[in-house]
Amino acid sequence: MENESRLSITLITMDRAASCTVFTRSDGKEARLPLDPSPFEDTSVVARLDFSPAFGALLATTLTGDQILFEMPLEGAGDQLAGRLVVYLDQNQWSTLSNACHDEQKSSGENQAAGRKLMEWVEQRRIVLPASAGHYYETGKRFSTDKRYNLGLTVLQYSRGWQMRDPLQVRRNELHDAFCHRLDRPRNVRSAPVFTLDPDALYSPTRWTGSELPRTLPSQLAFQTKALIAAASSIDTMLDTERVEEGPGTGWTAASQRFSDWLDKLDQDSQQKRRAIDIQIVKDLQQDLAEEAAAAGVSTELFRQWGFKGLVRAIGGSPAVGLFREMLHSRHLNKGTTWRPNDLTDMIYLSCAAGYADFVVCEKHMRDPLQHGLKRMGRSAQVYRRLADAVAAIEETLEAPSVPVGPAQ
C-alpha cells in the first residue's frame, strides 16, 4: 500500500451535471463533495472543469462539448514563456481567426490556413497568442449570441490562458521604473512581465482588487486557488450568454477631435505642435506620474526640479507609454484626422502590445502610426494588417537558425 504521506491530489473535477466536486488521489481513490450552492449561473455555458496540479493545466468543457485548455501559472516558476514568440492580435484579427474556425463561408482559404498554422505553433509551444481585457470587453458586447460564443471560444482556445497585463498597470510600472532608474535604484524596479499567466493580471488594482482568500491557507494552496478562480472566471465570463452593455461615453473622442482641429489651424511647425501634444499627455497622466514618483521615492522638491522635461523623458523612454505618446503625435499631426470612439482603446492596447511583443496584427489606420512610432523609438516589433502576412513572417522567424548566446559578461 502506498504510504499515506506520499499520496497527492492528481485531479480536481467540478461537474455541473453531477453537482459535485471530485478530488482524485494518486492511488485512484476519490472524494466527492456537493456543489452547494452551485457556482454556475444560468447564463454560464461551462459544464465541467478539470484541473491537474501535476501538469499545471485546466481543461474546461462547455455544454456543447467544446473544450478549452489553459496553461496555469506555477508559483516561483519565473518566466514561463520559455522563449516562445509573442503574437498580439487586435480584435478585428480575432474575428478573422474566428471566421476561419467557425464560418468558412466568411473566410478565405488563406485565412483558414493561417489559423491552422497558428494553432499548430501554439500546441508546439513555439508561440503564444495572449488575450487582453480589451478582447474580453469587445467580445462581450457583440449582439449575436452565436457569434459571440464562437469568437470567445476562439480567443480562449488560441490564447490558452496567456494574457497581456492591464495596459494601465503596465503604464504605471514603466513610469515607476523610469523614476527608479533616474534615482539610480535599479533594485527597486517592479518585476511584472507584460505577457503572463499570473492570476488577476488582466485588470490593474485600480480597476479590480482581485479575489480575496482566507489568510490561513498555505502559500502554495492559496496561489493555486487564486489561479484557478482567475482562469475559471475568465473562461466563464468570455462565454457567458448574457451580452455586456457598453459603458457611458467619456468625452475623450470629442475632446481629441477638438484638439486635432485646433492644431490643424495653428501656425506652428511640427516641433512646436509636438510640445503642445506633450503638454496634453502630461496633463492626462498627472495622477499616474505623481503617484508613481512618490512610490519610487522621488521627493516633492526633486519632482518639481525635474519639471515638464523630466516627465516627458520618463514617458518617452518607456516602451508602452512611449509608443502611446508617439501614436498621439502621429495622429494629431496628421491634418484632417478623424477620431473614432474606439481609437483610445485601440491605441492603449496596441501600444502596450507593440512595446513588448514580437508581432502585432491590426487595422491599417492603427498600423501606420504604430509603425511610425516603433521606428522613431527604435523598437523591433513587427506590425502587419493581414493575418496571412503575419503568419508568413512568423514562420520565417521560427525557421531561422538560432543565434548562440555567449557567456554572460
Q: What angle do CA 396, 398, 400 make, to 5 degrees?
A: 65
Question: pLDDT digits over 200-246, tens only?
Answer: 899 877 665 555 656 666 677 788 888 999 999 999 999 999 998 88
Q: How confident is the model at residue 409, as a pLDDT?
A: 31
Q: Side chain identity at 344, as an amino acid letter?
A: L
Supply the pLDDT for residue 329.
Answer: 97
User: 152 near 255, Cβ under 8 Å?
Assistant: no
Q: From the CB of residue 336, how many other CB atoms can be counted at a distance below 10 Å?
A: 7
H or E segment and range at residue 252 = helix 252-265
What is the structure's pLDDT at 405? 36
pLDDT number for residue 145: 92
Domain ranges in the chain are 11-18+45-162+197-239, 250-397
The strand pairing partners of 58, in sequence order, are 51, 70
Which residues lie closer than 8 Å to 229 by C-beta, 6 or more apart?
199, 211
Say what the pTM is.
0.92
Regions of the chain where pLDDT drops below 70: 1-5, 206-218, 402-409
Pairing of strands 85-89, 127-128: parallel
Q: What's the pLDDT score for residue 24?
A: 93
* Residue keyed to cell 516561483: 76
pLDDT value of residue 7: 83
Please report the pLDDT score of residue 91 as a whole number. 96
Taking the C-alpha atoms of residue 342 and residue 320, their distance in angstroms, rounded to an integer, is 18
- 84 forms bridges with which residues in the sheet? none
